[in-house]
Structure 1
């Protein structure tokens, strides 16, 4: 199972490494991966992000 490690879950199709959407990405730095360009998230990441966003809509945290 994939864990979403952001305070708010990124968009399901945000970058695999940092969560930023392709149109706004360019080259970015992520401590887990270093400098990178946008990369499609894995199917497990997409599913985990969708579940996290759905759970947040049901039970928003302060």
Structure 2
């Protein structure tokens, strides 16, 4: 009984950590894209080349 509970808790923690990892990746991607768009907006549309370089690097 105790072993089953421990294994269930371990699987739950592992899935939660994987979920947090995926959410963090999405948030980082969103932040990079938002920063690139804000740079484009602030510096004008002539900055498209550096924005493309930034998106291909991430």
TM-score (norm 2): 0.32
Structure with the largest fraction of helix: 2
TM-score (norm 1): 0.30
Greater relative contact order, per chain length (Cα 8 Å cut-off, separation 6+): 1
